[in-house]
Amino acid sequence: MRFALYQPDIAQNTGTILRLAACMGVGVDVIAPTGFDMTDRALRRAGLDYLAHVELTRHASLADFLAAQRCDGSRLVLLTTRAEMLYTSFAFQASDWLLLGRESAGVPESVHWASSARVRIPMRAGLRSLNVAVAAAMVLGEALRQTRGFPL
């Protein structure tokens, strides 16, 4: 299981997701450009001492990321408020890549169609969205539960 972060805007959210990934043993792919300095040095300076414990891959563009993901042969599962299927009704696979959009804008329409599946977290009407790191934790927890992928 992997996270894929599409052009993240907020360093603190990315740091939280990287820490989550390190603790749960999942990889993270970051698709540039980011809204902050994404170098190892900058991340360490920001206090991300978990960086050594996460498999982090950086992609210069969406095209580079999609080429790598397709070579892997796994599914790309987009977390989006626009999905019909609830994440709790989706059958996750251990090889899935969980794609999270930009905090400010989500993902473009082309990314929706490049995804194998789209899932959403049910929320009260009239509210826009959850924090991206909170959404990541909720969906990863369900995916790991279904696939028995929690670390021992």
- Reading the chain (152 residues) residue by residue, the pLDDT tens digits are 999 999 999 998 999 999 999 999 999 999 999 999 988 777 776 557 788 899 999 999 999 999 999 888 899 999 999 999 999 999 999 999 999 999 999 999 999 999 999 999 999 999 989 999 999 999 999 999 999 999 98
Q: Is 100 helix (H, G, I), strand (E, B) or coil?
A: strand
pLDDT at position 45 is 66
Taking the whole predicted model, whether its pTM rises above 0.85 is answered as yes
Evaluate the CA torsion angle 63, 97, 50, 138 in order and state its sign: positive
> Does residue 127 lie within any of the structural domains?
yes
Our count of domains for the chain comes to 1
Domain membership of residue 92 as a residue range: 2-147
pLDDT at position 49 is 77
> Does residue 152 lie within any of the structural domains?
no
Q: What's the CATH number where 26 sits? A: 3.40.1280.10
User: Is residue 149 within 8 Å of 113, Cβ to Cβ?
Assistant: no
